[in-house]
Chain A
Amino acid sequence: MSINEKEITDDLFLPADSENGTEAISRPTITYWAEVWKRFRKNKAAFIGLILISIILALAIFGPYANEHGYDEQNLTRANLPPKIPILEQVSWLGVSGTDIQGIDRYKESGITEYFWFGTDNLGRDLWTRVWEGTRISLYIAILAALIDLIIGVVYGGISAYYGGRIDNIMQRIVEILVGIPSLIVVILLILVLQPGIISITLAMVITGWVGMARIVRGQILKLKEQEYVLASRTLGAKDRRLIWKHLIPNTMGPIIITTMFTIPTAIFTEAFLSFIGLGLQPPIASLGTLINDGYKLLRIYPHMLAFSSIIISLIMISFNLIGDGLRDALDPKMRK
């Protein structure tokens, strides 16, 4: 055929030494978590999300201490001041030069020399302090709610699926009843009974919130417990505890993490929504929700009151989604190349 006969010399037909030694060189031994971290870092979007969350978290913790103003410190002489930031005030289009939308420098007018980075609200409270105080409270509520959701959901769903049969049947009927009641009604009733506050809002969200997690975990475990590796472990004599912790939970990790990461922004939003309709935190306590609620009334005149809190709430939601996505991939050894 097309191959040149001259190229084919006799010695080419000698038996080849087996050139295939060991199949592949082994990779260096690193622990599972080191590897997870390595994979997570490779995912740019998730990594940016992590950085964003870290910055927001740091500001939420230390931000309020950046000036002497308290979150509830009112002073009507400095009400409705637009934001003013040193150095950046030179850049006119940024809108942080202390002038309002009519082009009047409010700081000069009120004779205030101090810089309010995010401006002040209609009661003259420093918005920088209030925004970060609010972020802190919102994050606190959200993470607390997500954690409780996670624990109740995983335990409930896990027990329901693992033991199955009648137990599963009863537990699922309870879940159905909970799902059937509109959560808003539960929340309203609860807040009427308890004093509106951080704990009661968290409780209100958790009471119905864990159902989603429980259903997801139940579905996963129902599927997994028929997998042959679980059967193999049982034939090796493994007890329930081992099966659940070594086989079932690790393999449910992906959906659990995703659900949790979605619960956090949803919880922030629910809290904001509750505050917005007036069932949430009561003044003077700030949360991202109450800030938005206060800000939107004056949106046309003082857009800064709404802008900062909404930007932060958006950033938090995007970052958590990105992190959740990256974390799911990072925790899965199948993504190892």
Chain B
Amino acid sequence: MEKILEVKDLQVSFDTYAGEVKAVRGVSFHLNKGEILAIVGESGSGKSVTSKSLMKLIPNPPGRITGGEIIFKGDNLVNFTEKQMQKIRGSDISMIFQDPMTSLNPTMTVGNQIIESIIKHQKQSKHQAKDKAIKLLEMVGIPNPEKRLSSYPHQFSGGMRQRVVIAMAISCNPKVLIADEPTTALDVTIQAQILELLRNLQKRMETSIIFITHDLGVVANIADRVAVMYAGKIVEIGKVEEIFYNPQHPYTWGLLGAMPNLNEDSEELITIPGSPPNLLNPPNGDAFAERNQYAMKIDYQLEPPMFKVSETHFAATWLLHEKSPKIIPPDTLRKHRQVSAIEKQKDRLAKKREKLLEVKNLKQYFSSGSNVVKAVDGINFDIYKGETFGLVGESGCGKSTTGRTIIRLYEATDGEVLYNNVNIHDKRVSGDLQKLNQNIQMIFQDPYSSLNPRQTVADIIAEGMDIHGLASSKKERLGKVYELLETVGLNREHANRYPHEFSGGQRQRIGIARALAVDPEFIIADEPISALDVSIQAQVVNLMKKLQKEKGLTYLFIAHDLSMVKYISDRIGVMYKGKIVELAESEELYQNPLHAYTKSLLSAIPLPDPDTEKIRKRIKFDESLFWNGEGEEPILREVKEGHWVSCTEQDFQSIKKQFNAV
């Protein structure tokens, strides 16, 4: 195969006040013509920096390329001047950025932005460029391209904007397209569309794509080859099947194990302990040794070279050395793991009988002027004691608002929330409210904004105790803080530090400790893991499961990541436009989705399994089919024990018939 781009021992550093941060420490790979190479890694692994240095887009200062070569068309791009690079950018190599909200100029029409780059690089007349722009917009699937040409970016939705960005990127038929997390800011169903689009375009135009992502599901969906990055180095590179079914590096094992798989069911996720090293002083030897449970002495002394596994598969770990002991990768990584889900289900069914929370026709409208946004529009569900109830949906469907309304951060517009058979939205006496706040707690999404930067960890955790007067003396208070820190897996020593000294995962643990400080029965977790890296997500989810077992907690788990929700929840409610469209046991919902929206949502989630990804068909959800206020209003009906679907009377009968037939 023809190599279109080759990177040899690339090194990139950033000069900071604290010293030189070696963000990329000797990365070598090549890109074949017409393939999609995915670079995966956690935040801070250097994947974005690598891709930006390919186009020399690293801000200088503080960043600089300190060594290595980037060979493109026989030239070494590292030695190119800014002027030479400007010719390459956009025409030979182009880039798609993560956030479509910021990568388009809001004061220029979409058409002008595309035309501009065509005129600049291809020396075409304005008229020709305009025709081409229309063609491009059509190619990326934007309806009415002639009309849309004169629209401004804010008139497009997020997904459409990303399509425009893609149209701009491919406008000059680039040889290499670098996509830096192009779908991270988008909803799953939109993500699936964009991935499909990229794949089609790649086939049609024979471009090579470098696809940067942290999501292994996306990788399995789109990539031909995969490079796994850790601490500024590629630790494993190979074909997608080789990486997913025959991983060699313990870090890859950890990454794969940390992702719950929709098709499978396992008791505990594999986690990678600790957090990535500080690249200000990269450790000697293997940077991963600290977190590697198979670490050997050599890992602390020498950097492992790239060992060859097959013609296309390389991994940098001493485990592959002939003298190393043979280690069998963890069970969960075997290609088709089979765990009987039935037993677990029974277990769950047995324990849930007592209703803890009942939500009845809850409505939450926000009005700004004459504009009324129906964020939550009459939802009903029950949560039983000791279970985990998952609430999923795309951004803007009202799932977070539901959580916040239940805990009374917002005053409900209408409806009731019964907690232990008492309507909590009635309570006006402050004593009762206090008691309620002690029983229901919340874990927040953003680990960076959910902790007060000016308080020490001890004060943050103890806030609930202070409010409710749970600690009688300073000593008791501190003792409780220590206990909580240890419960969530942190050290006592952390108590008098400030939040900014912690990593995202550790901050989330502090947030959990704060919620636990008042001994709640019920915890609302509002996207507690969506801001975290995969390996850290698994740590937090395992912690939440452990705490549930130990303390008999009940969770309302709000998330957009269906695979994680399915893993942690007993029952799941799917929300769409402020309503619950389907509610069932998690296994049942996954095996037998009935509502069209649930089906499309399930089919859109990329799984970390290339074989299934290749044959999967995506089901599209036609929005016009959703009830628009005319005719019979679909309501939640129980079609089967514990399985509720929003449907009309007629649909209800036909579904019933189906069940009876089976």
Which residues of A approach B to under 8 Å, CB–CB? 1-3, 7-8, 10-16, 18-20, 22-27, 29, 227-229, 231-238, 242, 246-247, 250-251, 253, 332-334, 336
Contacts and interface: CB of A to CB of B under 8 A. Distances in A.
B298 interface: yes
A15 B295 contact: yes
Interface string B437-453: 11011101110011111
A229 B451 contact: yes
A236 B501 CA distance: 24
Contacts of A11: 297
Contact of B289 (A16, A246, A332): A16
Interface string B485-508: 000000111101110110000000
Given A20-B290, A234-B409, A229 B450 contact: yes
Nearest to A14: B297
Given A231-B444, A236-B437, A237-B438, A12 B452 contact: no
Contacts of B25: none
Nearest to A250: B454
A22 B453 contact: no
Contacts of B496: 26-27, 29
Interface in B282-339: 289-290, 294-302, 305-306, 318, 321, 323-325
Most chain A CB within a 10 A radius of its CB, from B302, B440, B491, B496: B496
B84 to A, nearest CB: 33
A62 B100 CA distance: 64
Most A C-beta atoms less than 10 A away, residue of B297, B451, B501, B518: B297
Interface stretch (B74-82, B462-470, B620-628): B462-470
* Most A Cβ at <10 Å: residue of B445, B460, B494, B498: B498
A2 B305 contact: yes
Nearest to B306: A1
B467 A238 contact: yes
A26 B463 contact: no
A3 B294 CA distance: 22
A229 B449 contact: yes
A232 B496 CA distance: 20
10 contacts: A12-B302, A13-B325, A19-B300, A232-B442, A237-B434, A237-B437, A237-B464, A247-B452, A333-B454, A333-B500
Given A10-B323, A12-B296, A233 B463 contact: yes
Contacts of A251: 452-454
A253 B445 CA distance: 25
Interface of B: 274, 289-290, 294-302, 305-306, 318, 321, 323-325, 404, 407, 409, 433-434, 437-438, 440-442, 444-446, 449-455, 460, 463-464, 467-468, 491-494, 496-498, 500-501, 511, 514, 518
A8 B514 CA distance: 49
B22 to A, nearest CB: 19
Contacts of B453: 251, 332-334
A14 B318 CA distance: 11
Contact of B409 (A2, A12, A19, A231): A231
Given A237-B434, A238-B467, A247-B452, A228 B300 contact: no
B446 A228 contact: yes
Given A7-B302, A228-B450, A238-B467, A15 B511 contact: no
Nearest to B459: A246
Nearest to A227: B449
Contacts of B318: 13
Nearest to A233: B463
Contact of B467 (A236, A250, A333): A236
A232 to B, nearest CB: 6
Contacts of A332: 453-454
A3 B407 contact: no
Contacts of A27: 496-497
A164 to B, nearest CB: 13
A235 B444 CA distance: 11
Given A25-B493, A229-B450, A250-B454, A12 B298 contact: yes
B300 A23 contact: no
B514 A232 contact: yes
Nearest to A20: B290
Contacts of B300: 16, 19
A232 B511 contact: yes
Contacts of A2: 305
Contacts of A336: 498, 501
A64 to B, nearest CB: 42
Nearest to B465: A236
Task: Across the A-B interface, give the 7 residue pairs with the lowest CB-CB distance, nearest first.
Answer: A26-B493, A237-B437, A228-B450, A12-B298, A1-B305, A228-B444, A333-B498
Contacts of B274: 20
B298 A8 contact: yes
Given A16-B296, A20-B274, A231-B444, A334 B500 contact: yes
Question: Which of B440, B451, B452, B464 has the largest number of chain A CB atoms within 10 A?
Answer: B452
Contact of A237 (B289, B301, B468, B491): B468
Given A12-B323, A15-B295, A333-B453, 16 more contacts: A1-B306, A8-B298, A23-B491, A24-B493, A27-B496, A29-B496, A228-B446, A231-B404, A231-B442, A231-B444, A235-B437, A235-B440, A236-B441, A246-B455, A333-B454, A333-B498
Contacts of B444: 228, 231-232
Contacts of B306: 1
A15 B297 CA distance: 6
Contacts of B442: 231-232, 235
A149 B403 CA distance: 41
B362 to A, nearest CB: 17
A3 B302 contact: yes
A228 to B, nearest CB: 4
A27 B494 CA distance: 9
B459 to A, nearest CB: 8
B409 A235 contact: yes
A23 B274 CA distance: 9
A26 B457 CA distance: 13
A317 B318 CA distance: 63
A20 B274 CA distance: 10
A27 B464 CA distance: 25
A23 B445 CA distance: 25
Contact of B518 (A22, A236, A333): A236
Contacts of A13: 296-298, 318, 321, 323-325
Contacts of A8: 298, 302, 321, 323
Contacts of A235: 407, 409, 437, 440-442
Contacts of B460: 229
Given A1-B306, A2-B305, A334 B498 contact: yes
Q: Which of B298, B325, B437, B511 has the most CB of A within 10 A?
A: B298
A334 B455 CA distance: 10
A26 B414 CA distance: 50
A247 to B, nearest CB: 6
A24 B502 CA distance: 12
Contacts of A22: 491, 493
Given A231-B409, A232-B514, A238 B463 contact: yes
Given A236-B518, A333-B498, A229 B302 contact: no
Contact of B297 (A16, A25, A242): A16
Contacts of A29: 496
A77 B235 CA distance: 91
